[in-house]
Amino acid sequence: MAEMLADAGQDSKFKNGSLVEGTVSAIKGDDVFIDIGYKSEGEISLSEFGEGAEVKIGDKVTVMLVQLENERTGNVELSKRRADDKIRWEKILERYVEGCVVTGTVKSAVRGGLLVQIDDVEAFLPGSQVEVAPVKDLEAYVGQTFDFKVIKISNERRNLIVSRRELIEGTLAEKKAELLATLEKGQIRTGRVKNITDFGAFIDLDGLDGLLHITDMSWGRVKHPSEVLKVGQEVQVMVLEVDRDRERVSLGLKQTTENPWNSIQDQFPVGARVSGKVVNLAAYGAFVEIAPGIEGLVHISEFSWTKRVARASDVLSVGDEVQVVVLSVDVENQKIALGIRQTQANPWDTVQDRFPVGSKVKGRVRNFTAYGAFVELEEGIDGMIHVSDMSWTRKINHPSECLQKGQEVEAVVLDVNAKEQRISLGLKQAQTDPWSEIATKYAVGSVVKGKVSKIASFGAFVELEDGVDGLVHISQISDQRVEKVKDALQVGQEVEARVVKVDRGERRIGLSIRAMSMSEDEIRALEAEASGETVEPATSTPAAGEGFGGLSAAFDNAFANVEWQPGEAN
């Protein structure tokens, strides 16, 4: 019983995975036999002692009991390597805890990160924990020594997971806090361009990133921040705003230089002629840079004295070098008005010399409006013929009634207004006024032939020679009552009528188809009335029922309330 109890006590200390002390009892070839005090010895490969190790019989060694009886050999299975690993790991647990800082050297790059040698311990540094920003080339870190923070101790894998990023972030946080405490509005700081975006750039102020907005990069126009800065560039910036609660800093680059607008009026006085470059185009004009950070607007109305400019892009392109004149300077709103046409002589200043009032000119009809026609006298110089100055004999409602676009015409200059850039022309004034001979050519009582040109509700206009129109009132069309003019006459119809009234002042000719049946006495009476004489006719007027002179009076009465408008069609 005593022997059984002793054996049971002895077996209780031999557990798989435990560390036991043993003595080298024999060495046979590459096998080392270890006596651990059990009923049988254990066997270990000489390679587990390490390359070049000297092992002698009687040496004391610590080994791990892997298995008391190997299923294949029946012997005790021991491992010195495992024992060494366990001893090393237990020492690691004594030395390191999660959160401690250690120093190590990057040994090699592996999948997902780096292997770091820390004393006699190999630790794993994940790729995401190398830097604050993602790292593309991990090989560049091999051989370098850094401080690391132990972020996890894995008992299962018996390894350390470390982070360099957490140390950097901690250091940056301290720097950021210190920097925020010392930053003040208006300070000039040195920084490095860390990143560039469409709206600006982020500047590293050695521990704190500040935003440099695109509008604060230059006093002039900046289309994209990359035109001014490059990543990694060192710059001097001014602190514009500091928000300590949100840890945000606004920076300015242009504020480190003097605002050129402060001396703009001395540098570019009104009337000065300067050179510049077109930097931007809009529908309404072109922006021209006349000095670094100084842009002025040339409105399309200031492009040319004579040409009509619809869009700035029709004349200029970005990058063009141009000569401009300063028209006005608004320092408060930082605006400069420029002019291109002012660099050239204004042709309107001498237009009165080239086109004096009363002179005859020739030109080509360029365009129509409801009230007249524009005639191009020279490039960019137009004169306007009003509809009232197109014909001596006819009322023109629209210029297309007597003119065509592109037609070359001769006209007389009626008025020149250089200030308003207007020239008034007369088409009819270039021709002889036919009314000067109307009374002779169309004597009262004479018979004329013509063609019905227009029909109105009150009568018909008959075109005679020289473009002169006479009017046959509805009451003078027939002896019979006429309800509607168009029932008796048609446009284009040839008619014969007698002249019963000529009014040179009003430029009117009254005609009567009814009067074609007048007798000789009645015609003489009508002629006498026109000349102011008094002649008694032999018989009464069958048409009017009264004296022969009453026909002219009837014509006046008929048209007393009628506006003479040959252009008004029924």
* Residue 554 shares a structural domain with residue 439: yes
Contact between 250 and 198 under an 8 Å Cβ cutoff? The reply is no
Q: Is residue 178 part of a domain?
A: no
* Residue 491 shares a structural domain with residue 380: no
Please state, as a whole number, how many other Cβ atoms lie within 10 Å of the Cβ of residue 18: 13
93-127 core/surface letters (b: 16 or more CB in 10 A; e: else):
eeebeeeeebebebbebeeebbbbebeebebbbeb
User: Please, which residues bridge with residue 472 across strands?
Assistant: 460, 511
pLDDT score recorded for residue 569: 40
- If DSSP states are collapsed to H, E and C, what string results for 428-473? HHHCCCHHHCHHHHCCCCCEEEEEEEEEECCEEEEECHHHCEEEEE
Q: What is the mean pLDDT of the chain?
A: 83
Q: Which of 38, 68, 87 marks a domain boundary?
A: 87
pLDDT in tens, 358-403: 999 999 999 999 999 999 988 878 899 999 898 887 778 899 988 9
* Residue 57 shares a structural domain with residue 159: no
Does residue 551 have a pLDDT over 70?
A: no
Average pLDDT over every residue of 175-187: 85
Pairing of strands 113-118, 121-126: antiparallel
Domain of residue 69 covers: 20-87
Does residue 429 have a pLDDT over 90?
A: no
pLDDT score recorded for residue 294: 86
Does residue 417 have a pLDDT over 80?
A: yes
Does residue 240 have a pLDDT over 60?
A: yes
* Residue 453 shares a structural domain with residue 510: yes
Task: Name residue 430's amino acid.
Answer: A
* Residue 290 shares a structural domain with residue 324: yes
Q: Is residue 6 part of a domain?
A: no
Higher pLDDT, 561 or 538: 561
pLDDT score recorded for residue 526: 66
pLDDT in tens, 43-98: 888 888 888 788 888 989 998 898 887 767 667 889 888 888 888 888 878 788 88
- In this prediction, residue 409 has a pLDDT band, given cuts at 50, 70 and 90, of very high
Does residue 110 have a pLDDT over 90?
A: yes
Q: Which of 231, 256, 281 marks a domain boundary?
A: 256
Closest CA to 388 of 341, 427, 347: 427
Please state, as a whole number, how many other Cβ atoms lie within 10 Å of the Cβ of residue 283: 9
The CATH number linked to 360 is 2.40.50.140
The DSSP result for 244-263, as a single string, is TTTTEEEEESGGGS--GGGG
Strands (E) across 344-398 are located at: 360-369, 372-378, 381-386
- Please give the Cα distance from 221 to 287 (Å, whole number): 10
pLDDT score recorded for residue 560: 53
pLDDT score recorded for residue 259: 81
pLDDT score recorded for residue 214: 92
- In this prediction, residue 293 has a pLDDT band, given cuts at 50, 70 and 90, of confident
pLDDT score recorded for residue 360: 92
pLDDT score recorded for residue 537: 44
* Residue 298 shares a structural domain with residue 404: no
Higher pLDDT, 22 or 532: 22
Task: Name residue 546's amino acid.
Answer: E
Give kind and range of the element (H or E) at residue 291. Answer: strand 285-291
Q: Is residue 480 part of a domain?
A: yes
- Please give the Cα distance from 75 to 35 (Å, whole number): 12
- Please give the Cα distance from 513 to 508 (Å, whole number): 16
pLDDT score recorded for residue 540: 39
pLDDT score recorded for residue 238: 93
Q: Is residue 15 part of a domain?
A: no
Please state, as a whole number, how many other Cβ atoms lie within 10 Å of the Cβ of residue 143: 10
pLDDT score recorded for residue 555: 58
Task: Report the sign of the C-alpha dihedral through residues 432, 435, 436, 440, in that order.
Answer: positive
Q: Which of 229, 256, 283 marks a domain boundary?
A: 256
pLDDT score recorded for residue 543: 41
179-209 core/surface letters (b: 16 or more CB in 10 A; e: else):
bbeebeeeeebebebeebeeebbbbbbeebb
- Please give the Cα distance from 541 to 547 (Å, whole number): 6
* Residue 230 shares a structural domain with residue 288: no
Closest CA to 207 of 184, 188, 190: 190
Average pLDDT over every residue of 183-195: 90
Contact between 499 and 445 under an 8 Å Cβ cutoff? The reply is yes
Contact between 328 and 269 under an 8 Å Cβ cutoff? The reply is no
The phi and psi torsions of 526 (rounded to 5 degrees) equal -65, -40
Q: Is residue 336 part of a domain?
A: no
pLDDT score recorded for residue 113: 93
Average pLDDT over every residue of 169-189: 84
pLDDT score recorded for residue 251: 93
* Residue 420 shares a structural domain with residue 380: yes
The token duo for 140 is 């560049």
- Please give the Cα distance from 260 to 271 (Å, whole number): 19
* Residue 553 shares a structural domain with residue 440: yes
pLDDT score recorded for residue 568: 43
The token duo for 99 is 């959160």
Q: Is residue 498 part of a domain?
A: yes
Higher pLDDT, 159 or 408: 408
Give kind and range of the element (H or E) at residue 7. Answer: helix 2-12
- In this prediction, residue 148 has a pLDDT band, given cuts at 50, 70 and 90, of very high
Least confident of 16-20, 91-95, 227-231, 556-560: 556-560
Please state, as a whole number, how many other Cβ atoms lie within 10 Å of the Cβ of residue 289: 16
* Residue 239 shares a structural domain with residue 291: no
The DSSP result for 508-550, as a single string, is EEEEESGGGG--HHHHHHHHHHHHT-----SS--TTTSS-TTH
* Residue 466 shares a structural domain with residue 548: yes
Contact between 443 and 558 under an 8 Å Cβ cutoff? The reply is no
Q: Is residue 337 part of a domain?
A: no
- Whole-number percent of the chain with pLDDT over 70: 89
pLDDT score recorded for residue 542: 39
Structurally, the chain folds into a number of domains equal to: 6
pLDDT score recorded for residue 491: 92
Q: Is residue 72 part of a domain?
A: yes
Does residue 549 have a pLDDT over 50?
A: no
* Residue 163 shares a structural domain with residue 248: no
pLDDT score recorded for residue 336: 92
Three-state secondary structure call for residue 329: strand
Average pLDDT over every residue of 163-174: 85
pLDDT score recorded for residue 531: 56
- Please give the Cα distance from 384 to 368 (Å, whole number): 9
pLDDT in tens, 297-345: 999 989 888 788 888 888 899 999 999 999 999 888 888 999 998 888 8
- In this prediction, residue 548 has a pLDDT band, given cuts at 50, 70 and 90, of very low
Kindly give the interhelix angle for 520-531 and 550-558, rounded to the nearest 10 degrees. 60
Does residue 286 have a pLDDT over 50?
A: yes
